[in-house]
Every structure is written in structure tokens, then in C-alpha cells.
Amino acid sequence: MDAKGNVDWVEVAETPLEADLLEQWATRPECGAIVTFCGTTRRSSSTGHDVTELEYETSVELAEGRMREVIAVARERWPDIVAVAIHHRIGRVLLGQPAVVIVVSSPHRREAFEAAQYCIDTVKKGVPMWKREVWPTGSAWSQEAHDIVSVHDA
């Protein structure tokens, strides 16, 4: 928690994500807005297979470090945001389950929406994370990949 009472919560783990828990955590008496983004695994395949699961892999230390940088930049751009959580699941995730959850609370909705949008866009482009598509008879790295960029450039 900083001097203004702002708090960050980043986590990369194999445990299922619980958006409602993060929303409760982000609830503050001074905040009139909580924006939640849930990125759920979907059937679309970059490799042409009937995908049943996605498997995420990273270095937890490097990924969490980058997520903290993402939040720091969000706080520079939207100074009024209060609580910011970014949680990313790793390991195997069944279709339809959340792989990433982002929650931002702020006194008013505009900055919460904009900061949450920045956070998810930047997590996808700027956090070290690799996705493997899994189908009943095999698996392969997602072909929807791009060079990792700075959190300032995403």
C-alpha cells in the first residue's frame, strides 16, 4: 500500500481464478466504480485442431515483475485509480475458464475502464507468457504470438 492507500495485487499461479474475490478486495468506500476484465479460454485454434484446453507457461518471477510494471504505468496515466489486481493462471485451463482476471477500482468509471483496458492490452503484449493449444491427440504452441514489448509501448 502506498501513501495514498493504493494497493496492487499481482499473482501468477495454477489455481483457478476467482473474479468475485478480487472485486471484493478492490471494493473501497471512496470508489464508485469497479471494472473487471475476465479473459476466458475459447475454442478458436491457431493450429487448426479441435482444442479442448490451453496450457500456459512462464517464469512466475519475470511475469509478476512485468505485471507490477504494468500497474505502475497505469497509475502514472490514471492517477485516480485505487486498487488494481492482475492475476494470470498457468498450467492447463479448460475451455471457458478464466485465464486472466484484471480488476480496477476508482472513484469514477472512466479511469477504471481505461486503466483496465490498458492493463489487459499490455499484459497480452508485454508480459512473458506462452500458450499451448491442447487437443485430444496432441498439442502445439499457439501461432498467435508476437514479440514482447515494453509496458510503455503496448
Question: Binding residues for another protein, per CB under 8 A?
Answer: 39, 56-59, 61-63, 65-66, 88, 99-100, 120, 123-125, 127-131, 141-142, 144-148, 150
Nearest CB to another protein, comparing residues 113 and 141: 141
Shortest Å distance, C-beta 11 to another protein = 14
Shortest Å distance, C-beta 143 to another protein = 8
The C-alpha atoms of residue 58 and residue 3 are separated, in whole angstroms, by 32
Nearest CB to another protein, comparing residues 107 and 128: 128
Shortest Å distance, C-beta 80 to another protein = 25
Nearest CB to another protein, comparing residues 20 and 144: 144
Nearest CB to another protein, comparing residues 27 and 130: 130
Cβ-Cβ contacts under 8 Å for 138 (sequence gap 6 or more): 49
109 residue type, one letter: R
Residue 1, judged by CB atoms within 10 A of its CB (0-12, 13-18, 19+), counts as exposed
Q: C-alpha cell of 133?
A: 493449444
Phi and psi for 152 in degrees, rounded to 5? -85, -20
